[in-house]
Amino acid sequence: MADDRFYPPRGFASPPPEFTDFASARVVVLPIPYDSTTTARAGARDGPRAIIDASEDMELYDLALGWEPYRVGIHTLPELAVHAGSPEAMLHRVEEVVAELLDGGKFVVTLGGEHSVAVGALRAHARRQRDLSVLAVDAHSDLREEYLDTPYSHACTLRRILEALPSGEGEPLVQVGLRSASAEEVTFIRERRLPFHSPRALREAGPDALVASLRQNVYVTIDLDGLDPSQMAAVGTPEPGGLLWDEVSDLLAALARQKRIVGFDVTELAPDLGPVACAQAAAKLAYRLIGLALDSSLRSE
């Protein structure tokens, strides 16, 4: 009895059923309700469900893009089961599933959960994609070698990502939104001359300049605490002085004009720690990024 008297099946953006079939959908959304290494305020495990729920209230026409990204087809998978053996085992599970989806020709959107899940997703891309780099939006440097007895903590995410990226021309990793780091991480940034930029640096240089040094194929990882708490309060580790919605949107648009976005994640929404508007913003951001990545007018396939 699937007809117009019933709401569409639950899924990201809740597109019409003909755009949700797994076989024909270009985009697959992978929800990962995992936050086992969280060290501040917990709750990111509830983020994927909150983002999907909020996405069902979006208008599917994106005014900034001028089209309806759902028309590429969006299939939402069930939530990935947590592997309780260890953080490393969980990231291996994420990598395994993302790898299967990539091998099936899908554009993968990972919804966290904590930021550590990005490591598994990125590793799957890095093993299949040449000339790959990462654009990270994050308030924290996440460059610790180890934290609380594990190298797979959310505080180590960008360190593990940096290690997984291939060598070559161009910057392997550019981070925007930095407002917090340990002394050891600052030393590492300076010694390696890593392009980690504060919100002020973005405003001074402009988005085009910051993404220009990236390689041609780019994976985007978004820790939502990169945004200012006035617009994204629902995170476990908020930091003052963050990026605003339009700044993040403009940054991603500049990236899409210059480079090829091959996949992305949105992580660290803890919905109970802020207003419902935070989940709605996270959903809109993911939908906008799908549109930017797959808009044929921005780049050729």
Q: What pLDDT was estimated at residue 300?
A: 43
Q: How confident is the model at residue 297 (pLDDT cuts 50, 70, 90)?
A: low
Q: What pLDDT was estimated at residue 12?
A: 98
User: For 191-204, what is the mean pLDDT?
Assistant: 97
Q: How confident is the model at residue 1 (pLDDT cuts 50, 70, 90)?
A: low
Q: What average pLDDT is seen over the chain?
A: 95
Q: What pLDDT was estimated at residue 3?
A: 74
Predicted TM-score of the model (pTM): 0.96
Length of the chain equals 301
**Which has the higher per-residue pLDDT, 65 or 4?**
65
Cα–Cα separations (whole angstroms), residue 246 to 27, 162, 249, 276: 24, 27, 5, 19
Cα–Cα separations (whole angstroms), residue 128 to 9, 69, 217: 32, 25, 11
User: For 234-256, what is the mean pLDDT?
Assistant: 98
Q: What pLDDT was estimated at residue 301?
A: 42
Closest CA to 225 of 141, 128, 131: 141
Maximum separation of any 2 CA atoms in the chain, in Å: 63
Asked if the model's pLDDT at residue 40 lies above 70, the reply is yes
The C-alpha atoms of residue 300 and residue 298 are separated, in whole angstroms, by 7
Cα–Cα separations (whole angstroms), residue 203 to 186, 259, 289: 21, 20, 21
The torsion angles phi and psi of 134, rounded to 5 degrees, stand at -130, 135
Burial class (CB in 10 A: 0-12, 13-18, 19+), 4: exposed
The C-alpha atoms of residue 240 and residue 226 are separated, in whole angstroms, by 10
The C-alpha atoms of residue 253 and residue 100 are separated, in whole angstroms, by 28
Question: What domains does the chain contain, in order, with CATH numbers?
Answer: 17-293 (3.40.800.10)
Closest CA to 253 of 297, 215, 187: 297
